[in-house]
């Protein structure tokens, strides 16, 4: 058997990877954006033999960069998690997924810019508000993609309706948290990134509201 | 059962991934090129405590970079979409795919350079024309790859001929649009990237021409 | 058959890729972090026509960067290997894997920073100790992830207990080696990265201790 | 059915991806190294309104960078092709593959540095010779990996012996070509990268020698 026969007989590529390929391409973009964040944190180079204290001082000056790296890492990580959960519900390929997915990836790819902008200018209103605004936009594009992925013709038939409702609530909680942080950023710039923890409160609030609604519907 | 037995019995790697591997390698290159675009947009660092107005001014100065990022993101995204659609038709491995694919990836990998060149020198003839020229070249390499992938021995047997014809028309529309933008860039440099929307017109025009031809053939 | 039918009938995406997707996303982050290391090594540009000797001198000045690149490449490579071995034991998806995995990836993504910091300031105490401290933290996050992946509900049922014990010993050896290097870095800064070879000694020591324990249990 | 049941019943991750994961990790490293090459080509920024001629001059000054990008792109592409061909023959996982693979990836990841070094100092002996020397080293690590992958216990049982012999000849041709280029680089620095086309001659020469040997064995 020659290599050519081998390729022709056993090695045919089973098609059906349209969705998988879109997902892996997206994973690569998420992974690159999340790892590029560190590039904007410039490692200090001190005169050789500087006392230990100077190194600590140089590192302390990078504190806003470290915070921004950390926050953006988990923000992108959370969007990746949401993308993962949404496409976990998908089964059928549709070309309609391509553009909303590209728009979300565009917002994610731009995150290192907004992260470095806020880190370079800590506690300033415009960079802080812009960071939160960009997150709000990313959250919007995320919700838009989610709706396409968790609806026919893309969604798998055996996904429980309450699971999809939960995913959507999570997407909306991110947007509400980003909007909250945007308002906080305008009023108290230093708290721009801190205010993102409101995402957790919004999520719990929406979940409780959904439970109450479900109970009253059952009663 | 030891881990070694486990690997030998259950864990054999089914071969046949030659095409899949080429596709994933390509996806990674597309994803990196598309995400590296942001690296060339340098986040401003202003003196601490600058008034809000200065931040807006610094951002306004980045407007050409934002436009260039946005346009190139969707240009690379569109080429990725075309690559996706073309390889969706492929089923059989052939080493003949490797070189045309590498040439296309080379053109894609160089996009961040031409994007930053046009963004650094907004409205100038040479950077604008070069950007469009590089797109024309990328379009050419794309069409060349498409021809290999949508023809024997690579193409799957059950792909309808009209689907392949449609893919090829799309590839040609990108080239015609890039050529149009190249001419526009030489005459009115500011409109270089705007003129890329002519790709849409070319695509619709070619589709209509194909329909008319099909009708007259049926008659 | 139209393309649409084709997608609907043959091309359904078989789900069940939740774990695989997490693994590939992680692989991408590891791969990017390991490759970004080189970006921090700045290639010298000498006045044209400089004598050969000047080039050798410029390269010699990069010796700490070359060492740091080399060490960090294999450190990240080793963590990738550990990730690979751990997930090789996984079979069932659990959302509990997501956060510990993201924390490990965060530590890996930050490695290029600490690598460049030690390379820019060779033989200095703070950069050397910080490098080892970060490795210790990475080792800790690695052990934490390992515990989730090699325990129910994630672990495959047919993984031998002694294999899991071996994986965990390896994880602990990395932590002990990093702690050793941290102490060495504080006392003799130049030996910070050299002391990482103690990881090998710790691993062998732990293996021997496990064997002795197994023998005495059998006796 | 809840999502949890769904994951437990249908969504189990079939293991056996040990080889595949190593391959995809390697692909990601190749893809990143090949795409990072462009980062070292710095797009010129001219005073706004400079005459066209100045732009052409700025581009002309980047000619060595363009050549270096192009050559290195296809050098890395060729090593990727070789990796692809070698692992196409693999079927069984062995931990013995990990270290030789990491060493090759290390050499690939360092290529952007040597590429920028030769591009920054065109026609100089040390950067040219070092570039060829690194290629020789990469070729050596490639041959070492190839030997592990195309031999038991890794290789698939149905790979024809002459196919493996052909792969190995190709690997050796790369090394001989790099050695030739290294000698040329020392004598005539400007021809360092040009001399790499000798790889093609070595390959043809080795193929002819193998055919003659096969014939005389048959006779």
Report the pLDDT value the prediction gives residue A99, as an integer from 0 to 100. 93
Copy the structure tokens of residue A97: 């997924």
Counting Cβ atoms within 10 Å, is residue C172 exposed (0-12), middle (13-18) or buried (19+)?
A: middle
Copy the structure tokens of residue A159: 């996904």
d(CA B194, CA B122): 13
d(CA C41, CA C61): 11
D143-171, pLDDT tens digit by residue? 999 999 998 888 888 888 888 999 999 99
Q: Which residues of A touch C126 (CB under 8 A)?
A: 52, 55-56, 59
d(CA B73, CA B40): 13
Check pLDDT > 70 for residue B3.
no
Average pLDDT over residues D56-78: 93
Check pLDDT > 70 for residue D7.
no
Chain D nearest CA to A2, separation (Å)? 7
Cβ(A189)–Cβ(A124) below 8 Å: yes
B150-206, pLDDT tens digit by residue? 988 888 888 888 889 999 999 999 999 999 999 999 999 888 888 888 888 999 999
Chain A nearest CA to D195, separation (Å)? 32
Report the pLDDT value the prediction gives residue A153, as an integer from 0 to 100. 86
Chain A nearest CA to C204, separation (Å)? 33
Q: Which residues of A touch C105 (CB under 8 A)?
A: 34, 77
End-to-end CA distance of chain B: 70
Check pLDDT > 70 for residue C198.
yes
Give the burial string for C100-113 (b: 16+ CB within 10 Å, else e): bbbbbbbbbbbbbb
Report CA B136 to chain centroid distance, whole Å. Answer: 11
Q: How is residue A135 annotated by DSSP? A: H
Q: How confident is the model at residue D219 (pLDDT cuts 50, 70, 90)?
A: confident
Cα distances from C76 to residues A79, D37, D79, D214, in angstroms, run: 25, 21, 22, 45
d(CA B32, CA C106): 19
Q: Which residues of D touch A163 (CB under 8 A)?
A: 2-3
End-to-end CA distance of chain C: 70
C3 shares contact with chain B (CB less than 8 Å): yes
Interface with chain A: mutation pick from B15, B25, B38, B150, highest number of A CBs within 10 Å: B38
Average pLDDT over residues C100-125: 94
Copy the structure tokens of residue B102: 């590498």
User: pTM value?
Assistant: 0.90
Mean pLDDT of chain C: 87
C16: left (phi over 0), alpha (psi -120 to 50) or beta: left
D120 shares contact with chain C (CB less than 8 Å): yes
Nearest partner of D174 among D122, D138, D217, judged by Cα: D138
Average pLDDT over residues A83-91: 89
d(CA C188, CA C190): 6
Report the pLDDT value the prediction gives residue A61, as an integer from 0 to 100. 93
Check pLDDT > 70 for residue D9.
no
- Residue-wise DSSP of A57-124: HHHHHTHHHHHHHHHHHHHHHHHHHHHHHHHTTB-S--GGGHHHHHHHHHHHHTHHHHHHHHHHSTT-
Q: Which residues of D touch B40 (CB under 8 A)?
A: 43
Strand partners, A73: none
- Residue-wise DSSP of chain C: --HHHHHHHT-PPP---HHHHHHHHHHHHHHHHHHHGGGGSPPP-PPTT--HHHHHHHHHTTHHHHHHHHHHHHHHHHHHHHHHHHHTTB-S--GGGHHHHHHHHHHHHTHHHHHHHHHHSTT-HHHHHHHHHHHHHHHHHHHHHHHHHTSTTTB-TT--HHHHHHHHHHHHHHHHHHHHHHHHHHH-GGGTTGGGGHHHHHHHHHHHHHHHHHHHHH-
Report the pLDDT value the prediction gives residue A8, as an integer from 0 to 100. 42
D186 shares contact with chain C (CB less than 8 Å): no
Backbone angles phi, psi at B61, to 5 degrees: -65, -20
Q: How confident is the model at residue A98 (pLDDT cuts 50, 70, 90)?
A: very high
Chain C nearest CA to D44, separation (Å)? 17
Q: How confident is the model at residue C2 (pLDDT cuts 50, 70, 90)?
A: very low
Nearest partner of A48 among C125, D139, B145, judged by Cα: C125
- Cα nearest neighbour of D7 on chain A: A88
Backbone angles phi, psi at B53, to 5 degrees: -55, -40
Neighbours of B162 (CB within 10 A): 12
End-to-end CA distance of chain A: 70
Task: Name C92's Cβ contacts closer than 8 Å, sequence gap at least 6.
Answer: C19, C153, C154, C155, C156, D7, D8, D11, D12, D13
Check pLDDT > 50 for residue A107.
yes
Please state whether the peptide bond connecting residue D153 to the residue before it is cis, i.e. omega within 30 degrees of 0: yes
Cβ(C162)–Cβ(C105) below 8 Å: no
Cβ(C194)–Cβ(C123) below 8 Å: no
Give the burial string for C184-205 (b: 16+ CB within 10 Å, else e): bbeeebeebbebbebbeebbee
Q: Count A/B contacts: CB-CB distance under 8 Å.
A: 117
Average pLDDT over residues D103-128: 94
- Helix (H, G, I), strand (E, B), or coil: what is residue A54? helix
Mean pLDDT of chain A: 87
Report the pLDDT value the prediction gives residue C181, as an integer from 0 to 100. 92
d(CA B52, CA A123): 12
Cα distances from B168 to residues B49, B162, C113, in angstroms, run: 56, 10, 46
A29-44, pLDDT tens digit by residue? 999 999 999 988 999 9
C61 shares contact with chain A (CB less than 8 Å): no
Check pLDDT > 50 for residue A218.
yes
Average pLDDT over residues D75-92: 90
Chain A nearest CA to B32, separation (Å)? 7
Q: Which residues of D touch C80 (CB under 8 A)?
A: 25
Cα distances from C26 to residues A80, B201, C32, in angstroms, run: 11, 41, 10
B161 shares contact with chain C (CB less than 8 Å): no
Report CA B215 to chain centroid distance, whole Å. Answer: 32
C69 shares contact with chain D (CB less than 8 Å): yes
SS (H, E, C) D156-194: CCCCCHHHHHHHHHHHHHHHHHHHHHHHHHHHCHHHCCH
Q: Which residues of B touch A8 (CB under 8 A)?
A: 92, 153
Average pLDDT over residues A105-127: 94
Task: Name A194's Cβ contacts closer than 8 Å, sequence gap at least 6.
Answer: A184
Copy the structure tokens of residue C196: 């990482």
Q: Which residues of A touch B94 (CB under 8 A)?
A: 7
Check pLDDT > 50 for residue D2.
no
Q: Count C/D contacts: CB-CB distance under 8 Å.
A: 119
B56-73, pLDDT tens digit by residue? 999 999 999 999 999 999
Report the pLDDT value the prediction gives residue B181, as an integer from 0 to 100. 92
Nearest partner of C78 among C52, C102, C41, C104, judged by Cα: C104
Chains that touch D (3 or more CB pairs under 8 A): A, B, C
End-to-end CA distance of chain D: 70
B71-121, pLDDT tens digit by residue? 999 999 999 999 998 998 888 888 899 999 999 999 999 999 999 999 999
Cβ(B32)–Cβ(D31) below 8 Å: yes
Tell me the angle at which helices B111-120 and B18-36 cross, rounded to the nearest 10 degrees. 10
Counting Cβ atoms within 10 Å, is residue D130 exposed (0-12), middle (13-18) or buried (19+)?
A: buried
Nearest partner of A70 among C101, B39, C110, D67, judged by Cα: C110
Cα distances from A19 to residues B166, C17, C194, D16, in angstroms, run: 21, 11, 46, 22
The three-point CA angle A21-A175-A142 to 5° equals: 15
Please state whether the peptide bond connecting residue C37 to the residue before it is cis, i.e. omega within 30 degrees of 0: no
Report the pLDDT value the prediction gives residue C88, as an integer from 0 to 100. 86
Chain B nearest CA to A70, separation (Å)? 18
Report the pLDDT value the prediction gives residue C218, as an integer from 0 to 100. 80
Report the pLDDT value the prediction gives residue C187, as an integer from 0 to 100. 92
Task: Name C190's Cβ contacts closer than 8 Å, sequence gap at least 6.
Answer: C122, C123, C128
- Helix (H, G, I), strand (E, B), or coil: what is residue B44? coil
Mean pLDDT of chain D: 87
Q: Are residues D163 and A3, on separate chains, in Cβ contact within 8 Å?
A: yes
- Cα nearest neighbour of C105 on chain A: A35
- Helix (H, G, I), strand (E, B), or coil: what is residue A172? helix
Q: Are residues D28 and C23, on separate chains, in Cβ contact within 8 Å?
A: no
Q: Are residues D2 and A160, on separate chains, in Cβ contact within 8 Å?
A: yes
Average pLDDT over residues C34-60: 92
Report the pLDDT value the prediction gives residue D193, as an integer from 0 to 100. 86
Q: How confident is the model at residue D10 (pLDDT cuts 50, 70, 90)?
A: very low
A10-27, pLDDT tens digit by residue? 333 444 468 888 988 999
Chain D nearest CA to B124, separation (Å)? 7
C9-32, pLDDT tens digit by residue? 333 344 446 888 898 899 999 999
d(CA B68, CA B210): 33
A156 shares contact with chain D (CB less than 8 Å): no
């Amino acid at each position: 058997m020659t290599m050519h026969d081998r390729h022709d007989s056993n090695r045919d590529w089973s098609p059906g990877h349209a969705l998988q390929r879109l997902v892996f391409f997206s994973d690569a973009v998420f992974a690159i954006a999340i790892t590029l964040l560190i590039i904007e944190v410039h490692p200090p180079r001190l005169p050789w033999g500087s006392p230990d204290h100077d190194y600590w001082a140089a590192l302390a000056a990078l504190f806003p960069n470290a915070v921004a790296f950390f926050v953006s890492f988990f923000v992108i990580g959370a969007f990746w998690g949401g993308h993962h959960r949404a496409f976990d519900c998908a089964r059928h390929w549709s070309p309609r997924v391509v553009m909303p997915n590209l728009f979300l990836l565009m917002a994610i790819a731009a995150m290192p810019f907004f992260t470095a902008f806020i880190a370079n200018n800590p506690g300033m209103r415009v960079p802080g508000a812009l960071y939160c605004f960009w997150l709000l936009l990313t959250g919007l594009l995320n919700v838009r993609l989610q709706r396409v992925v968790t609806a026919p013709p893309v969604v798998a038939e055996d996904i429980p309706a309450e699971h999809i409702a939960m995913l959507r609530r999570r997407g909306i909680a991110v947007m509400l948290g980003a909007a909250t942080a945007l308002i906080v950023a305008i009023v108290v710039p230093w708290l721009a990134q801190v205010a993102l923890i409101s995402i957790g409160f919004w999520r719990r609030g929406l979940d409780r509201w959904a439970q109450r609604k479900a109970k009253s519907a059952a009663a």
